[in-house]
Amino acid sequence: MNQPTPHLTGSRPDLAPLVFYGEEIASRLLLGTALYPSPQIMADAVKAARAGIVTVSLRREQARGRTGERFLELIRALDVRVLPNTAGCRTAKEAIATAEMARELFDTPWIKLEVIANPDTLQPDLFGLVEAAGVLSREGFRVFPYTTEDLGAGERLLNAGCRVLMPWGAPIGSGQGLANRFGLRSMRAYFPDVPLVIDAGIGAPSHAAAAMEHGYDAVLLNTAVAKAGDPVAMAAAFAGAIEAGRTGFEAGLIEPRDMASPSTPVAGTPFFELNRKP
């Protein structure tokens, strides 16, 4: 399957480029393709988001038969890079088999790797994730692992062959935003040279902007756009938030302070006594 890198109207050429596995991506917003009211609204939202990558669940679309085939044709027509994912897989073995089918179907070695531990929180199974990542990396896949902010798990995924980490902001679809900002900031500091993508839990454009201000390289989201009252307008809002947050980070944000800091220094400032008598 052809996997172009789009040149996006309105993107900021002065910002540092986003690079995954040696390939430059023109947008820092990655968008999911599930849950939209209609296929056409999904396509319009992808365009409004100026997304450089869209994710597709192979298992979900396979289960839909002919409807799934038409959906995949629509995805191909979007002319953006497709990142298949192993959503819904509960074991490393299941995720590996799904990834191998996705490579054949989409003609890409890129895979978003999900191994789910808990059906309520959809938290990643870090043990199965590391196992599957190692096998797939040895098979030539370029793995994008859906993980947590756990530093030990991040190290093991990198040792397994991953060159990107995708920690969750909060449980999938929860809209909570960045639930553990301390942990996410620590992860950014601990892996300064690794592309980091916030994946899951983003609910508002402000959450996406905050992720970029923390120095994260990109954001992947789905529900916050697909389930919005106006998905197309929301997609455009997220695109603006991503750009604003990244620009702020690269411009150099000031450090928070416990005390006030006057914008006009007191020292050397003339004072006038308005009621002074001659």
The closest alpha carbon to 157, from 137, 136, 133, 141, belongs to: 133
Task: Tell the residue number behind the tokens 């909060």, with chain if given.
Answer: 170
Q: List Cβ neighbours of 49 (8 Å cut-off, separation of 6 or more).
A: 27, 29, 31, 225, 235, 236, 238, 239
CB 115 within 8 A of CB 122: no
Residues in Cβ contact with 238 at an 8 Å cutoff, skipping those fewer than 6 apart: 29, 49, 205, 208, 219, 221, 224, 225
Which residue in 47, 112, 227, 277 is the catalytic one?
112
Give yes or no for a contact between 110 and 21, defined as CB atoms under 8 angstroms apart.
yes
Catalytic residue status for 112: yes
Indicate the pairing of strand 53-57 with strand 29-32. parallel
Check if the beta carbon of residue 213 is closer than 8 Å to that of residue 253.
Answer: yes
The closest of 183, 187, 186, 137 to 165, measured between CA atoms, is: 187
Q: Is 196 left (phi over 0), alpha (psi -120 to 50) or beta?
A: beta
Which residues are known to be catalytic? 112
